[in-house]
Structure 1
Amino acid sequence: MNIPALHLSHVELYVTDATAAAEAFVDGYGFQVYATAERTGPPGASRSLALRTGDIVLVVTQGLDAGHPATAYTDRHGDGIADIALTAVGARAAFADAVAREATVLAEPAEADGWVTAVLGAGFDDVRHTLVQRPAGAEAHGTPLPLPGFEPVAEPLPVPAEAPALTVLDHVAVSVRTGELAASTAYYERVFGYHAVYEELMVQGKEAMDSKAVRSPTGDITFTVLAPSPAHEAGHIGDFLERHGTGGVHHLAFATEDIVETVARLDKRGTVFLSTPEAYYDALAVRVDLNRHSVGELRAFGILADEDHAGQLFQIFTRTVHPKRTLFYEIIERIGADTFGGGNVRALYDAVQSEKAEHEATVTATKAGPENAR
């Protein structure tokens, strides 16, 4: 298929307070604000800040009146990811090609000040894809401005030497409703020429989820799409769908080249991560022959390790601070691995079950008498 090349431009979050959201990324993850926008007129007034670290660009947008779509989005979901924007050398041609492949159209191509933009629906509920064609010279301090209307800040503060070294957006993790996984991933395969890189039914106890990952032809965008299995309990994916109200993005995975050092720096900045049972590390050395980072280093920070046919990966997930507990982040280091830590899901489940069994045994022994609890 001769599909126009589309690269990742940025991820836009709709938020209730753009300044507070930007400060959370700056203070917690080491992002820098490099451009801002105050916009009025259709589709409503808004305030946006563009942030970057490494090659990761995020935009946080706050609706300032009832007409802006960010207002309705945050009323429904709270803060969340609304747009995964894509750059195109020729946005009109890319739009026409996507429409010919049955893409959902949300806004026809429009041109202003040398910019061309258009908006397509995504493969999951009310997330969208803005196509962006930038004019020559649309850069701020070496990083392209994300959208028309943005102005560069005077001069970003220098990056501290101890800033977390986050490099690229490794993948976007998405939850969809039961039975919608095939249609969601097929949309990307048909419209944008994505190809499947991973597929698995993950069963843990009474819970299960279907998963499939699809990757763009350019290789810089990967969606891991998850759905509750109809034959099992919905589990945490079902919890997300209930709290969020629809399918959508539940986490972004930021890549790093040294996860131990990066997590240590994030920890000093106050980023809080999910804890990992001690039993997980007791079994880790048997499960994975680590080629980087010791079990002790991983245990100290709660970092997980897994491997596949291509290599190893290390990952950790932040504890969500979202009021609805529907958005969090992942830090990931890959040493050749091409999958997404499926082995960790099983290992964590086994570790939790092991600790639960040990706790229950201790409680039972204590009730039976102190001499049995020793």
Structure 2
Amino acid sequence: MTDHTPATALRVSHVELYVTDAEAAASAFVDGYGFRVCATAERGGGPEGASRSLALRQAGIVLVVTQALDDTHPAAAFVARHGDGIADIALSAADAREAFADAVSRSAVPLAEPAERDGWVTAAVAAGFDDVRHTLVQRPAGHTDTAVPLPGFEPVAEPAEVSGEPVGLTVLDHVAVSVPMGQLAESTGYYERVFGYASVYEELMVQGTEAMDSKAVRSPAGDLTFTILAPSPEHDAGHLGDFLERHGSGGVHHLAFATTDIVTAVDRMLERGIVFLGTPDTYYDRLEQRLKLNRHSMAELRKARILADEDHGGQLFQIFTRTVHPRRTVFYEIIERAGADSFGGGNVRALYDAVQAEKAEH
């Protein structure tokens, strides 16, 4: 059982992306995914450099896109190394000073000592993989607007209306991370040791000559899950190796956004211009034999190319966007859970088998 301490009581605040163009990045989330810009920040000079940030929200998901305006801001070095990507998974704290001290006492790597500004207290520790960080955020007393994520942000007086039908994304389901071979235990152990996360899933997934080790760890509050993947030493590195090479290190390769109706969400995202990965018809021919669907029809899934899987708790439905990143790294997942608590491992195998079967027919 997890000890209840300041470091284990942290919850998700927001996810920050470092980008080359904040306006363009924000527009992509607004136009394609149905987010709304709700706050902005301009930070000038100083030791941490100058930057421009926009905060976006949809239901319980808050994203921040930050562009460096000079070479001293950390976003400049991050983008030079990785391209646009997820740099900070920020965590809300009732007392950031206590949470920081507790995390460091549990061997968290400190990055920024607690500092106070306008009633906010922030600090930062390293994440369990490469140069991603966790900013700890303590809001001023009585501050309840979660769309304003950090000190220095000003709420947008009249947020623009989102064009088109609402997409219906609800919360951040999980964060998927790739780490180099041999670092899986170290990365997941960091979260278990420092933040009291629990292991909820573990599997070696083999696909032909490729394989990846995977383990998912979840926060005590249940609102943040990391699925961490590493190439298996006995197999080819495959697409994980490709990500590590293109990204320049380990890091977040996708965010999974939850929805309560994936068929509607995907349909509305397609109307907005989002392109999803394709799935061969063979997958759906075999899916009819593999699963008895408890919601959505086979025709609906086939039309939208949505994947379905099942575990002891129920079913899940998921689909992945095609990456538009210049390095072909970061992408996004849309997921609907109908009782399932896993992450679609059965789909990895089923998709591989379907692709192989389709190749054999041609």
Q: Is the 8 A contact 1:138 1:144 kept in 2?
A: no
Q: Is the 8 A contact 2:200 2:218 kept in 1?
A: yes
Following TM superposition, by how much is the alpha carbon of 1:144 offset from its aligned partner in structure 2, in angstroms?
4.2
Alignment of 1:118 onto 2:123: yes
Alignment of 1:22 onto 2:48: no
User: What amino acid is aligned across from residue 80 of structure 1 in structure 2?
Assistant: G
Give the match for residue 280 of structure 2.
277
In 2, distance between residues paired with 1:3 and 1:310? 30
Give the match for residue 264 of structure 1.
267
Give the match for residue 11 of structure 2.
7
Give the match for residue 75 of structure 1.
80
Q: Is the 8 A contact 1:101 1:190 kept in 2?
A: yes
TM-score (structure 2 length as normaliser): 0.97
Give the match for residue 254 of structure 1.
257
* Aligned mate of 1:203, from 186, 206, 211: 206
In 2, distance between residues paired with 1:290 and 1:68? 50
Q: Is the 8 A contact 1:138 1:145 kept in 2?
A: no
User: What amino acid is aligned across from residue 129 of structure 1 in structure 2?
Assistant: H
Aligned pairs (5 A) from 1:162-173: 162-173=165-176
Alignment of 1:185 onto 2:193: no
Residue 351 of structure 1: SS of its match in structure 2? helix
Give the match for residue 39 of structure 2.
35
Runs of at least 4 residues off by over 6 Å = none
In 2, distance between residues paired with 1:173 and 1:42? 32
Give the match for residue 370 of structure 1.
none
User: What amino acid is aligned across from residue 259 of structure 2 in structure 1?
Assistant: T
* Aligned mate of 2:100, from 87, 95, 99: 95
In 2, distance between residues paired with 1:103 and 1:178? 22
- When Rg is computed on C-alpha atoms for both structures, the one with the higher figure is 1
In 1, distance between residues paired with 2:143 and 2:116? 15
In 1, distance between residues paired with 2:226 and 2:328? 20
Q: CA distance change for structure 1 residues 144 and 20 in 2, over 3 Å: closer, same or farther?
A: closer
User: What amino acid is aligned across from residue 122 of structure 1 in structure 2?
Assistant: A
Aligned length: 357
Give the match for residue 363 of structure 1.
none
* Aligned mate of 1:158, from 143, 147, 161: 161
In 1, distance between residues paired with 2:339 and 2:283? 23
Q: Is the 8 A contact 1:210 1:229 kept in 2?
A: yes
Aligned pairs (5 A) from 1:231-246: 231-246=234-249
Alignment of 1:310 onto 2:319: no
Give the match for residue 57 of structure 1.
62
Aligned pairs (5 A) from 1:136-155: 136-139=141-144, 142-155=145-158
Following TM superposition, by how much is the alpha carbon of 1:292 offset from its aligned partner in structure 2, in angstroms?
0.5
Deviations 1:248-298 (A, max 9, x none): 000000000000011000000000000001100000011111001111100
In 2, distance between residues paired with 1:119 and 1:42? 16
User: What amino acid is aligned across from residue 14 of structure 2 in structure 1?
Assistant: H
Following TM superposition, by how much is the alpha carbon of 1:324 offset from its aligned partner in structure 2, in angstroms?
0.3
Q: Is the 8 A contact 2:30 2:162 kept in 1?
A: no
In 1, distance between residues paired with 2:142 and 2:170? 24
In 1, distance between residues paired with 2:330 and 2:197? 25
User: What amino acid is aligned across from residue 239 of structure 2 in structure 1?
Assistant: H
Following TM superposition, by how much is the alpha carbon of 1:2 offset from its aligned partner in structure 2, in angstroms?
2.3
In 1, distance between residues paired with 2:293 and 2:78? 43
In 2, distance between residues paired with 1:302 and 1:162? 21
Following TM superposition, by how much is the alpha carbon of 1:160 offset from its aligned partner in structure 2, in angstroms?
5.2
Following TM superposition, by how much is the alpha carbon of 1:143 offset from its aligned partner in structure 2, in angstroms?
3.3
In 2, distance between residues paired with 1:289 and 1:25? 34
The runs of 5 or more residues in structure 1 that have no matched partner are 360-374
The runs of 5 or more residues in structure 2 that have no matched partner are none
| Identical positions, percent | 76
Q: Is the 8 A contact 1:47 1:61 kept in 2?
A: yes
